[in-house]
Amino acid sequence: MAGSKPLWRIWTMNLVGKDQFGRWTGSVVADINDKLERLFQRVQRHPSCPYHAVRCFAYHVAAQLDPGEVLIYFTTRRTNLVMRNGAPNLGPGGTTWQSQGGMISEIYVDGFLSNGDYLQQAANLAFHEAMHNKIDADKPRDIVHAEGSGLATGNQISGATQLSDANIRMMAANMARSVPQFEDAFHGIMIVDGMPYYIDSTEAPGP
Ligand SMILES: [Zn+2]
């Protein structure tokens, strides 16, 4: 098993409330986190990954990110965090943006819920944004799309899009790179069993 460091974590924070058809629930979010964890387990097995284990967790009030760890938000296009924090526009399935308060990565739940294979699609989109987060969003040039294979594609990502060997290699080499994450979305929001509860305002936005 590769790695001298003990554990690397990817965190997700779901800001989207339940939908009326049962397609977006706490257990759906947990399934997506499992699939995202499985993608990163393939990265972990690469010899240049410095970690002994990887896990995906739901971000919570007492969460403490270690340097190098990543936080991915689940939002809708309407409730996106990035434009509120300075991004000029949104990407198709998600966006990663270096804000003043740290790196923001988000994926858009309303973009995939009508698809059959949206659990894997959501995990794939989250992995794609994690690549930008760790590899090129704080740099002047495009590295992820320039590589372009598998989940690095700048085109549509579906549930059938496969992680490529080049994706694994690139991510493994950047796993320990410290990119301060945006953690300011927490104010007034509690996450219970993967679902958001808005303490100081109205109900959670649905997809
Ligand atoms: Zn991209």
Residue 202's pLDDT band (cuts 50, 70, 90): low
Asked if the structure places residue 204 within a domain, the reply is no
Asked if the structure places residue 206 within a domain, the reply is no
pTM here? 0.95
Asked if the structure places residue 207 within a domain, the reply is no
DSSP H helices in the chain: 26-44, 118-131, 144-147, 165-174
| Alpha carbon of 143 to ligand 1 centroid (Å) | 10
**Structural domain of residue 93, as residue ranges?**
5-198
Q: How many folded domains does the chain comprise?
A: 1
Asked if the structure places residue 85 within a domain, the reply is yes
| Alpha carbon of 13 to ligand 1 centroid (Å) | 20
Asked if the structure places residue 52 within a domain, the reply is yes
Q: What percent of the chain has pLDDT over 70?
A: 97
| Alpha carbon of 94 to ligand 1 centroid (Å) | 8
CATH number of residue 88's parent domain: 3.40.390
| Alpha carbon of 61 to ligand 1 centroid (Å) | 29
C-beta separation of 48 from 6 below 8 A: no
| Alpha carbon of 145 to ligand 1 centroid (Å) | 6
